[in-house]
Amino acid sequence: MSALTKPDPPDASLLRPLRIHEVCMRDGFQSEPIFVLTDRKVELINALSRTGLSKIEVTSFSSPRAIPALADAEEVMRRIDRVPGIEYAALVPNVRGAQRALACQVDELNLVMSASPSHNLANLRMTMQQSLAQFADIVGTVAGQAQINASLSTAFGCPFDGEVPDSQVLGLVQRFVDLGISRVALCDTTGMANPAQVRRLFGAVIARWPQVTFTAHFHDTRAMGLANALAALDVGVIHFDASLGGLGGCPFAPGASGNVCTEDLVHMFEAMGRPTGVDLERLLTLARSLPDIVGHAVPGQVMKAGPATRRYPRSEAATAAAPASDRAQHHPG
């Protein structure tokens, strides 16, 4: 480059910080067979509030009969420390849930319905038309007292109905926009999405509704979670739902499993030079406490391997290079 040529301006999209929304307390705990004690939930949320996450989905105001693991929603909301600058969200399946959430001063009500009729019925016991009617009623009930996000489950495929056409997703996003909703998450409830599909669908919605904040919500059921997150990033998504330790899954979707893992996602973005504002070490410490909280191992990878910056003492290189027979002598048993 000569002294007269100006450097290229930095790509504006690379300057936008990424926003990580933690959903472990809701998507993660909702399908755990044990009831995580309220004290432990509050402790974990308070610790998560000190990691730099921009949003925490705290709980769900679903019917306690449908989701017994989150039957303590009011108490959890009441007891957590609310750090300024963090949004505390909760899932809301119907008007009754919205009233409960508003009574707890939830910052964002996360409305949910599916892009496929069979999953909507299994999860919410409503037709899609009934869910849309609930959305309209909830928007009226909220009347600007809180933010509203619409999460569209099975947007990339349904475990009952199979393929979900893009036109179906676009039509539903249009209905949300018509209701005045300006935040929308496209959710891959059972890990059926692939990166090409993610590029196509997120590319289409961002181009059509640039004023809407879109969030990518992926499950890693078929090991495509991080690949899908990268595909979403490539077409301009900067908001990502993710779950500590990779816990998660809808109890009313057969074959569902964990969300994209928060610390693995943060690790990848930071390694790529895309800041998230999240303190990875703190997140890792919390992820390592999860097996004790839920009573089983969790899928997260970086919590086991350590970050890519981890270095082993060089003396271990010599040991690793030794023939297997020698290693057996170094490490008997």
Q: Which is nearer to ligand COA, 93 or 258 (CB)?
A: 93
CB-CB contact of 286 with 67 (8 Å): no
Asked whether position 123 contacts ligand COA by CB under 6 A, the answer is yes
Q: Which is nearer to ligand COA, 123 or 168 (CB)?
A: 123
Q: Kindly indicate which of the ranges 55-63, 176-184, 201-209, 261-269 contains the residues binding ligand COA, using the contact rule CB under 6 A.
A: 55-63
Q: Kindly indicate which of the ranges 25-33, 128-136, 200-208, 292-300 contains the residues binding Zn ion, using the contact rule CB under 5 A.
A: 25-33
Distance CA 82, CA 176 (A): 29
Residue 30 binding target from ligand COA, Zn ion, none, CB below 5 to 8 Å by type: ligand COA
Binding mask 201-240 for ligand COA (x = CB under 6 A): ----------------------------------------
Number of residues counted as binding Zn ion (CB under 5 A): 1
Rounded least distance, CB 311 to Zn ion, Å = 35
Residue 93 binding target from Zn ion, ligand COA, none, CB below 5 to 8 Å by type: ligand COA
Asked whether position 141 contacts ligand COA by CB under 6 A, the answer is no
Which residues are within 8 A (CB) of 127 and not within 5 positions of it... i.e. 6 or more apart?
Answer: 117, 120, 121
146 is written with which tokens?
């809180």
Closest by Cα among 260, 285, 287, 87 to 189:
260
Rounded least distance, CB 250 to Zn ion, Å = 6
* Count of C-beta atoms within a 10 Å radius of residue 200: 14
- Residue in the block written with tokens 């480059």: 1
Which residues are within 8 A (CB) of 142 and not within 5 positions of it... i.e. 6 or more apart?
Answer: 98, 102, 109, 148
Q: Which is nearer to Zn ion, 21 or 102 (CB)?
A: 21
Instruction: Give the ranges where the chain is alpha helix by DSSP (H).
Output: 12-15, 38-48, 73-79, 95-103, 117-124, 128-142, 166-178, 195-208, 225-234, 262-271, 280-294, 302-305, 315-321, 324-330
Asked whether position 67 contacts ligand COA by CB under 6 A, the answer is yes
Closest by Cα among 258, 252, 290, 256 to 62:
252
Binding mask 26-55 for Zn ion (x = CB under 5 A): -x----------------------------
- 250 belongs to the catalytic site: yes
Per CB under 6 A, residues contacting ligand COA are 30, 60-63, 65-67, 91, 93-94, 96-97, 100, 112, 123-125, 153, 250, 252
Supply the residues annotated as catalytic: 250
